[in-house]
Every structure is written in structure tokens, then in C-alpha cells.
């Protein structure tokens, strides 16, 4: 009886692991598809036909590429106290000929909250990306990042910051 219960338990556990692995793979594929779309990788541009036979807008973005200059890509907060909430503004300048569109700023963890210029940044103009960091859950030296998705060739752009967190 114990042997058959063990076999049943192992079967259930094994099925659960296979099931989780399949879900993980689906999530990975979905996130890769989203990342490729946001980063402007070459994807087939699908069009959909409506009932009346009219062609709808392509699914993938046709946003023209531009270039960008950053005031800095890494910032050092230095030594801060545990629990401090700090932020830093990264300045972006559109150095290209087309409007710069920041579609998303995705932080590496939940301790970092982004804010960014949502309107298109015209050529020669500046925009901002602010990263706010909550140090409550950390001790010692930390380095964090956020990926900036925009209509530039090398998207995402990685912004980083570091801090040395001391006890209160």
C-alpha cells in the first residue's frame, strides 16, 4: 500500500514539474515575442482583413528609428540608510531625425519604480527617465537596472544604478 501511494505521489509531483516547465516555456516565449516587438526586431508585419475586405493596420509597429544620447547610463547613489527611498533622473536627448518614442521602462525588480516622458521627444529635444529605488529590503552593496524600450536600433537601453546600503 505504501509503495503504491509513493508511486502515485511521485507521479503527481512529476506531472506538476512537467506542467510548470511547460507554463514557464510559454511565458518565456510570450515575453520574448513582446520584447522583440518592443525592441523593433524584424517581425513579419501581419495585416488583418475585416469582413468588408478592408485591410487593417499592421500588428507590428512601423515606428521609424532614431538615435539617442544619455546624460549617463549608470548612477551611484553612494551610501544611503536602509529604508531610504531615493530617485535619479536620467536625461535623454533625441539626436536623430525622427521623434523618439519611449514605449516602456521595465525595471529589473519591484524595488525600482520608473517614470518617463510619454510624449514623443522631437529631434534635438530632451526627455526624462526617473528611477525611484526603495532600499528597505537590502543591505550592503547593490546594483539594479531598468531596460528602456524605444524606437532605437539597440533597444532595450540598460540604465543601471548602485548604492551602498547601511543599517539605520
- Nearest 5°: CA angle at 99, between 96 and 102? 105
Output the pLDDT for position 62: 54
pTM exceeds cut of 0.75: no
Determine the 3-state secondary structure of 136 from DSSP: coil
Burial of 150 (0-12, 13-18, 19+ CB in 10 A): buried
Please give the average per-residue pLDDT across 126-147, as a whole number: 97
pLDDT tier at 1, thresholds 50, 70, 90: low
Contacts of 145 (CB under 8 A, 6+ apart): 107, 108, 158, 159, 160, 161
134: closest CA among 86, 166, 168? 86
pLDDT tens digits, 54-82? 333 222 345 799 999 999 999 999 999 99
Q: Has residue 51 got a pLDDT over 50?
A: no
Question: Distance (Å, rounded) from C-alpha 36 to C-alpha 32?
Answer: 6
- Kindly state the percentage of the chain with pLDDT values over 90: 61
Q: Has residue 116 got a pLDDT over 50?
A: yes
pLDDT tier at 168, thresholds 50, 70, 90: confident
pLDDT tens digits, 34-50? 333 333 433 333 333 33
Amino acid at each position: 500500500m505504501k509503495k503504491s501511494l509513493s508511486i502515485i505521489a511521485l507521479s503527481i509531483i512529476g506531472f506538476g514539474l512537467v506542467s510548470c516547465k511547460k507554463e514557464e516555456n510559454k511565458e518565456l516565449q510570450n515575453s520574448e515575442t513582446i520584447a522583440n516587438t518592443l525592441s523593433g526586431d524584424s517581425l513579419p508585419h501581419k495585416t488583418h482583413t475585416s469582413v468588408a475586405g478592408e485591410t487593417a493596420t499592421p500588428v507590428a509597429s512601423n515606428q521609424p528609428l532614431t538615435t539617442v544620447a544619455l546624460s549617463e547610463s549608470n548612477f551611484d547613489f553612494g551610501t544611503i540608510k536602509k529604508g531610504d527611498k531615493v530617485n535619479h533622473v536620467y536625461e535623454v536627448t533625441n539626436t536623430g531625425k525622427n521623434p523618439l518614442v519611449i514605449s516602456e521602462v521595465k525595471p529589473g525588480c519591484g524595488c525600482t519604480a520608473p517614470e518617463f516622458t510619454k510624449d514623443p521627444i522631437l529631434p534635438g529635444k530632451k526627455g526624462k527617465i526617473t528611477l525611484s529605488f526603495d532600499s528597505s529590503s537590502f543591505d550592503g552593496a547593490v546594483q539594479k537596472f531598468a531596460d528602456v524600450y524605444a524606437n532605437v536600433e539597440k533597444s532595450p537601453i540598460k540604465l543601471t544604478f548602485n548604492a551602498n546600503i547601511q543599517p539605520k
